[in-house]
Amino acid sequence: QLAQKCKIHFIAFRYRTIYEEVIILFIIANSQITKAHDYLLYSHYNVNIFNSSLIKWLYYCMDVINKHVNMSVRWNVNIILLINYLIHYVFCTFASEDLLFHAISNISTSYTPEDLRLCTLIGPMIVASQQKKIFEPNKINPYYITGFTDAEGCFLINVRPNSKMRTGYSVELVFKIALHPKDKVLIENLQNYFNVGTVTDRGSDCIQYWVGSLKDLQVIVHHFDNYPLISQKWSDYQLFKQAIELMKAREHLTKEGLQKIVSIKAVLNNGLSNELKIAFPETIPVIRPQINNQIIPDPHWMSGFVDGEGCFYIAINPSSNKAGGTVQLKFLVGQHSRDVLLLKSFVNYFNCGNYYLKSSGEAVEFVVSKFKDIHEKIIPFFDKYPLIGSKSKEFIDFNKAAQLIKSKVHLELEGLEKIKQIKLTMNKSREVKIGSSTTIKSKVNKRSYCTVRNLNNQKDNPKNFHEWLAGFIDANGQFILTKKGKPSLKLVASIKDKSALYEIKHKYNGSIKSISGFKALKYKLQHKKGLISLIEDVNGYIRNPARMIQLNKICVKYNIKLKEPLLLTYNNGWFSGFIDGDGSIFIDNKSGQLIISVTQNNKYILDPLQNLYGGRVSILSKREGFQYSIFRKKEVLNLVNNYFQIYPLKSCKLAKLNLINAYYLCCNHRYLNVNQLDKFNEWIKFKNHWDKL
């Protein structure tokens, strides 16, 4: 039975005695076989101890040895020599060479001590001389890989037109990490770790590691199943795995299966392109799974994450002191506010620092600025669990500056100048050697705090913007045609929404003026060319009956045919503009419940929203009108983590939207409990920040 598992062909080993010796060796090794198998498995070499490709490799090495080793030993010893290289690597990792020597010596007493000594010494040297890296021990801790992927990794689903496919589309799944060329060594180490994938140059400022075949992606899946991601990228990975399973089952070759993959793609990265939205109009994005465990599993995870998202910063400010300046060291890690719980855990993990939500609500930052904490906690941590990428050079300089501050030389002009020189070589100013001769300045863009992409700074898709603008006009706009026949568009918005109005002005011209006595602005567009351009862009997207009547009057004047809007679908930016124009995101004072709502006089325009996004439409008791509101946690999170990731808000409401995930983390502690004062204080801190927005 063991021989059958080994799948050793008689042609490869012509003599039965040798065949038997190979089997005996594996039997003797049985006491360590579990460790050996697990080690190979965790090392992500897609190799089993009993694997035909392994035997082929052994046979290849035997041929190499016969050609290059000049010694009078029996052919049997050569076979043992080959197999020894395999078990030498595995066994010595867990035990010692004595255990290996004992295993070999039990095969037969006919081998001389000199033969056995050659087995343990020459085997690895022979293969090394052939410059083969088969079964080379991994130097990167697997948790480092996970931490670095949490920071920089990306799971992609590409759906492209392909006339050769029955469905008309081909599907490609890709795991990718893209970095600056200064991290080429790190990228190559990642490739060596997984032993699959490709490293490619993407111009002068980018190099990437990517894995695209289903077979190779199984290696990636195996790693992240055993060493799970703990940022919101875990959700991307879970959806990516669903797509892999669909492709393994060949469902992507059917229209139904392809639609499932498109529905998954809709909530990953940049969502669906305009072409895919048109091709798959009935797409309803799947609900993103929510991660529950964000406990840091291993110190090496932190090293990997900081290599991707961390920053070692030296601040030098002018001062009237003797040296002419003050120095402050800062260790920072930034992330999108959706990962506020993860960044918050850093405070407890390092037992120092604090976390801060940015005023925009989009980002959260973990900061350590006290020198004692940096010198006694942060620096010793990364000395023990070193960084691997180019950021290790920043840490070395950061450490040098810390030692100068520790010795108080920074209080003198000469010492301060030394720290300034260190600062000049860090981060953006560091020169990086690319290849054998070219030296460039490392241009590092300002960190965008998002797990996959910077959603709010992405280039607007024209169709998405036109849909958003139509929703914004439907909510609080007005098309006007005076008695004298002068057409115009008027929009009113809060002074906090100035950026949204100026974006419209930038595209169509017009004027923006403040409204006296109110904290509001009025945008007015009268210029014929700009007004016609705007009408052509929103024509067919306007849904408010009152607004359509107003628009029709201007269309008649300019001889433009008014288009009826199509049935509203989930994948439409109109709802985002509608919320920006007349929506509210608030925490109810009585119930403490978070609610997203919008109020209108016309129920007709609100009813489709209930079917698409959940929630309910109710009649207002204090005024004539209707209110659409979403308050159930599942429906709110579906909007926040799915829809608004594809169609982001442009108004000041975005700041509160980005805090919704943080709200659900601390809302259960809004009532005073003497046994949990720290958690109650967190709620108070959150609520104060919320109320300021």
What are the residue boundaries of the structural domains of the chain, listed by start?
Answer: 2-129, 142-279, 299-441, 455-557, 574-692
Q: Is the whole model's pTM more than 0.95, yes or no?
A: no
pLDDT in tens, 143-199: 999 999 999 999 999 999 999 899 999 999 999 999 988 888 899 889 999 999 999
Is pLDDT of 619 > 50? yes
pLDDT in tens, 204-245: 778 999 999 999 999 999 999 999 999 989 999 999 999 999
Angle (nearest 5°) at CA 556 between 555 and 557: 90
Read off the pLDDT of each residue in 611-627 and give the average, rounded to a whole number. 85
Supply 686's token pair: 């959150």
Nearest to 389 by CA among 457, 451, 327, 306: 306
Stretch (H or E) spanning 490 = strand 487-494
pLDDT in tens, 373-382: 999 999 999 9
The answer to whether 554 and 526 are in contact (CB under 8 A) is: no
CA distances from 196 to 215, 219, 590, 661 (A): 9, 8, 56, 36
- At 337 the pLDDT is 79
Q: What is the mean pLDDT of the chain?
A: 77
- At 9 the pLDDT is 35
Is pLDDT of 307 > 90? yes
Partnered with residue 596 across adjacent β-strands are 585, 630
Partnered with residue 333 across adjacent β-strands are 310, 366
- The fold of the 142-279 domain, in CATH, is Endonuclease I-creI (3.10.28)
CB atoms within 10 A of CB 44: 19
How far apart are the C-alpha atoms of 92 and 96, rounded to whole Å? 5
Stretch (H or E) spanning 326 = strand 325-336
- At 359 the pLDDT is 63
Residue recorded with tokens 């498995």 = 41
Long-range CB pairs of 428-432 (<8 Å, 24+ gap) are: 430/182, 430/390, 430/393, 430/394, 432/180, 432/181, 432/182, 432/390
- At 410 the pLDDT is 81
How far apart are the C-alpha atoms of 333 and 323, rounded to whole Å? 30
The answer to whether 75 and 65 are in contact (CB under 8 A) is: no
463 versus 36: the higher-pLDDT residue is 463
- The two beta strands, 363-368 and 354-357, are antiparallel
Instruction: Assign domain 299-441 to its CATH superfamily.
Output: Homing endonucleases (3.10.28.10)
The answer to whether 584 and 598 are in contact (CB under 8 A) is: yes
| SS3 readout for 236-298 | HHHHHHHHHHHHHCCHHHCHHHHHHHHHHHCCCCCCCCHHHHHHCCCCCCCCCCCCCCCCCCC
| Alpha helices by DSSP H, 29-96 | 30-42, 52-68, 75-94
The answer to whether 542 and 472 are in contact (CB under 8 A) is: no
Lowest-confidence range among 3-7, 480-484, 658-662?
A: 3-7
pLDDT band, residue 440 (cuts 50/70/90): very low
- At 332 the pLDDT is 94
Percent of the chain clearing pLDDT 70 (strictly above): 74
DSSP-based three-state secondary structure for 84: helix
- At 426 the pLDDT is 81
The CATH number of the structural domain formed by 455-557 is: 3.10.28.10
- At 5 the pLDDT is 41
The CATH number of the structural domain formed by 574-692 is: 3.10.28.10
How far apart are the C-alpha atoms of 194 and 218, rounded to whole Å? 10
How far apart are the C-alpha atoms of 198 and 190, rounded to whole Å? 10
Read off the pLDDT of each residue in 515-529 and give the average, rounded to a whole number. 90
Residue type, 45: Y
Supply 81's token pair: 């020599």
**Given this chain, do its domains 142-279 and 299-441 carry the same CATH topology?**
yes
pLDDT band, residue 290 (cuts 50/70/90): confident
Partnered with residue 367 across adjacent β-strands are 332, 354
Is pLDDT of 127 > 50? no
How far apart are the C-alpha atoms of 139 and 386, rounded to whole Å? 12
The answer to whether 538 and 470 are in contact (CB under 8 A) is: yes
